[in-house]
């Protein structure tokens, strides 16, 4: 910890612009930390305020006190952790000011050194709403600063206020919040906001008339999905960009690395450039193939997130997912799974209930193919429409049955209750910072897993165990009337799902149409890639993670054996 460096803690509801303020205060010196165990990132950075270095901390959204969701608890924990020299900056907006002021009362009761920032003043003014900042400051007896952090307005004043507080900062610790009543605080906040805010005209529902329309809403949702998943990530990134990068890698990196290690002993050479080499497979897959794809997805989703579309998407699909015991919010990780299942498993954190998180993790592992795998499978089956139909039909059917089956997972799903932030054009800073944080997460958390897997496979290969595993798998495949040539491809599929499909691609000439379709079904349904399994176990815990894997494997084997016997065994396709 940083000892006597004063701390500035940003708190407030979601979507009030805390993060923009964070980046505005800390600039390029900000670093991103991903605290284990917390549900969302807490950002930490340094800023210079009136010549003093201060720690600036950005917290996840907190609606009020007491916190009610897991996300809020992370912010609440940061608030209640005692820090000797701390200034709390509560960020609010004119919209919803009354309820936000309830938290202000709680913070004041605790005797925190407090500044109130009324952010997004520009948006309020555009909506014809004015706020009396002096009245707020007088009544609350704390400094109140009006800002539009995105344009930089009010930031100098905020720095001055913080500077004087840092200079004057006494070491009085916070007091317990005795006598706090959420109801009273809410009523007082509403009363004060009622006097401080004057509205010119009533805001129209605007673009939501289309985005939430019973007919046009789903049309927009499907179009957005098509543009993001098929056009941007599928065609542009997975198709064009990855192919070119991969070609460059084969042309320059592979020969250079081979040359470098050419004098080393065979075992070491295999570790670097062999079939499962750290460079030839580990780095190549994580940097050249997956990184561009997940970056494309991160960028698309961050844009949609900042535009305020994701909550609308959740509203539109809520009725479709309810029968499966899921809420509309589950659509966010599920559609993300078509990009990268590993990342999507992490994103199940957006769901409020553990039950829904488990159900979504299961569906991601069982029926949602990632973009890389989807690309290779569709290419593999494109020339055999019958096989494509059999594959899509079987996976689709399993998806519906599994979704309905997740109803038996114990627990409840909360009814929909979702704030709809204003729809606006995405802003560059928040999008850049989110993409940066998420890509950083991928590089730190997923790349090491892939490298570790390469190391493990290399060891298995050196010990001669890989062949043994393949022979074991062949026995199982025989049950589904699949030839043993499919075994190596499937084993690779566990490492990287698309790698398995690529393995099938090489031997596709030797396979019948039915065999190809059944192999693709097994590949899609069976184990997700090893990085996803690692994240599943980390996010859901060992017992739930292993239970999900067992359910996935059992379903995959039963479906494959049944379909294989019918199609290959009986029909001889």
Partner 1 sequence: MSRGVPLTVVACGRPVVVCRVDGGVSSGRLAALGVVPGAEVTKLRDLPVPVIRIEDTDIAVDRSVVRRIYVRRQEVSGNKEK
**Residues at the site binding partner 1, with contacts judged by CB under 8 A:** 63-64, 68-69, 94-99, 127, 129, 182-183, 186-187, 190, 193-194, 198-199, 203, 205, 208, 212, 214, 217, 311, 314-316, 318-319, 412, 414-420
Residue nearer to partner 1 on the CB measure, 37 or 214: 214
Residue 236 vs 418, nearer CB to partner 1: 418
Neighbours of 103 (CB within 10 A): 23
Nearer to partner 1 by Cβ, of 218 and 569: the residue is: 218
Q: Say whether 31 sits in a helix, a strand or coil.
A: strand
Smallest distance, partner 1 to C-beta of residue 44, A? 26
Q: What is the DSSP letter of 322?
A: G
Rounded to a whole number of angstroms, the minimum distance from the CB of residue 440 to partner 1 is: 31
Q: Are the beta carbons of 115 and 147 closer than 8 angstroms? A: no
Nearest approach, Cβ of 199 to partner 1 (angstroms)?
7
Pick the closer one to partner 1 by CB: 208 or 539: 208
By C-beta, is 396 or 411 nearer to partner 1?
Answer: 411
Please, what sign has the CA dihedral across residues 265, 268, 274, 280? negative
- Which residue, 209 or 267, is less far from partner 1 as judged by CB? 209
Nearer to partner 1, 128 or 393 (CB): 128
CB of 246 to partner 1, least distance (A): 43
Select 134 or 204, whichever has its Cβ closest to partner 1: 204
3-class secondary structure per residue, 94-140: CCCHHHHHHHHHHHHHCCCCEEEEEECHHHHHHCCEEECHHHHHHHH
Q: Report the nearest approach of partner 1 to the CB of residue 419 (Å).
A: 5
- Minimum distance between the CB of residue 428 and partner 1, rounded to whole angstroms? 25
Residues 6+ apart with CB under 8 A from 34: 41, 437, 441, 444, 445
Nearer Cβ to partner 1 (313/552): 313
CB-based contact 84:169 (threshold 8 Å)? no
Residue 338 CB, nearest approach to partner 1 (Å): 23
Which own/partner pairs from 25-28 qualify as long-range (CB within 8 Å, at least 24 positions apart)?
Answer: 25/56, 25/155, 25/158, 25/159, 26/56
Provide DSSP, 171-190: -PPPPP-TT--HHHHHHHHH
Question: What is the Cα–Cα distance from 76 to 68, expressed in whole angstroms?
Answer: 10
Q: Which two tokens stand for residue 572?
A: 């001889």
Tokens representing residue 266 in the block: 């065979």
- CB atoms under 10 Å from CB of 548, counted, come to 24
Distances (CA, A) of 337 to 212, 229, 342, 362, 373: 24, 10, 8, 11, 11
- Burial track 127-142 (b if 16+ CB lie within 10 A, e otherwise): bebebebeebeebbeb
Q: How far is the CB of 196 from partner 1 (least distance, A)?
A: 12
Q: How far is the CB of 422 from partner 1 (least distance, A)?
A: 8
């Amino acid at each position: 910890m940083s000892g006597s460096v004063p701390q500035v803690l940003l708190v407030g509801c979601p979507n009030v612009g805390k993060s923009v303020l964070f980046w505005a205060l800390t600039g390029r010196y900000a670093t991103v930390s991903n605290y284990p165990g917390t549900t969302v990132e807490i950002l930490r950075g340094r800023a210079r305020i009136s010549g003093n270095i201060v720690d600036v901390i950005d917290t996840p959204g907190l609606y009020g006190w007491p916190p009610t969701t897991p996300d809020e608890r992370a912010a609440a924990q940061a608030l209640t952790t005692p820090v000797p020299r701390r200034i709390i900056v509560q960020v609010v907006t004119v919209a919803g000011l009354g309820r936000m002021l309830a938290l202000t009362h709680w913070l004041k009761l605790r005797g925190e050194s407090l500044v109130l920032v009324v952010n997004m003043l520009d948006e309020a003014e555009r909506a014809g709403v004015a706020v009396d900042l002096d009245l707020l400051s007088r009544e609350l007896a704390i400094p109140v600063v009006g800002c539009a952090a995105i344009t930089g307005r009010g930031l100098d004043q905020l720095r001055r206020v913080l500077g004087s507080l840092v200079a004057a900062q006494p070491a009085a610790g916070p007091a317990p919040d005795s006598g706090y009543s959420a109801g009273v605080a809410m009523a007082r906040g509403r009363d004060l906001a009622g006097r401080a805010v004057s509205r010119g005209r009533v805001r129209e529902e605007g673009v939501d008339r289309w985005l939430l329309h019973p007919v046009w809403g789903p049309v927009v949702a499907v179009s957005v999905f098509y543009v993001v998943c098929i056009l941007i990530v599928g065609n542009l990134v997975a198709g064009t960009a990855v192919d070119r990068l991969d070609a460059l890698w084969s042309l320059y990196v592979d020969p250079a690395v081979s040359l470098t290690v050419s004098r080393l002993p065979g075992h070491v050479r295999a570790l670097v450039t062999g079939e499962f080499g750290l460079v030839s497979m580990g780095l190549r897959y994580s940097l050249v193939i997956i990184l561009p794809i997940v970056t494309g997805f991160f960028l698309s989703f961050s844009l949609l997130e900042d535009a305020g579309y994701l909550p609308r998407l959740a509203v539109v699909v809520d009725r479709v997912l309810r029968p499966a015991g899921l809420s509309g919010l589950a659509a966010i990780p599920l559609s993300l799974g078509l990009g990268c299942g590993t990342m999507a498993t992490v994103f199940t954190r957006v769901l409020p209930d553990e039950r829904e998180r488990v159900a979504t993790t299961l569906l991601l592992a069982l029926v949602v193919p990632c973009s890389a795998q989807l690309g290779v499978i569709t290419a593999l089956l494109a020339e055999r429409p019958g096989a494509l139909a059999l594959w899509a039909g079987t996976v689709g059917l399993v998806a519906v049955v599994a979704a309905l089956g997740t109803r038996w997972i114990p627990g409840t799903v909360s009814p929909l209750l979702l704030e709809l932030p204003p729809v606006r054009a995405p802003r560059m800073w928040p999008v850049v910072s989110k993409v940066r944080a998420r890509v950083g997460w991928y590089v730190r958390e997923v790349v090491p897993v892939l490298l570790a897997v390469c190391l493990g496979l290399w060891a298995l290969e050196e010990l001669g165990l890989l062949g043994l595993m393949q022979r074991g798998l062949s026995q199982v495949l025989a049950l589904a009337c699949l030839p043993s040539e499919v075994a190596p491809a499937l084993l690779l599929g566990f490492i990287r799902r698309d790698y398995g499909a690529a393995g099938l691609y090489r031997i596709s000439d030797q396979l019948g149409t039915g065999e190809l379709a059944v192999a693709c079904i097994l590949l899609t349904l069976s184990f997700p890639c090893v990085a996803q399994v690692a994240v599943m176990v980390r996010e859901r815990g060992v017992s739930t993670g292993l239970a999900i894997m067992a359910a996935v494997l059992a379903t995959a084997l039963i479906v494959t054996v049944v379909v294989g016997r019918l199609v290959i065994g009986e029909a001889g396709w």
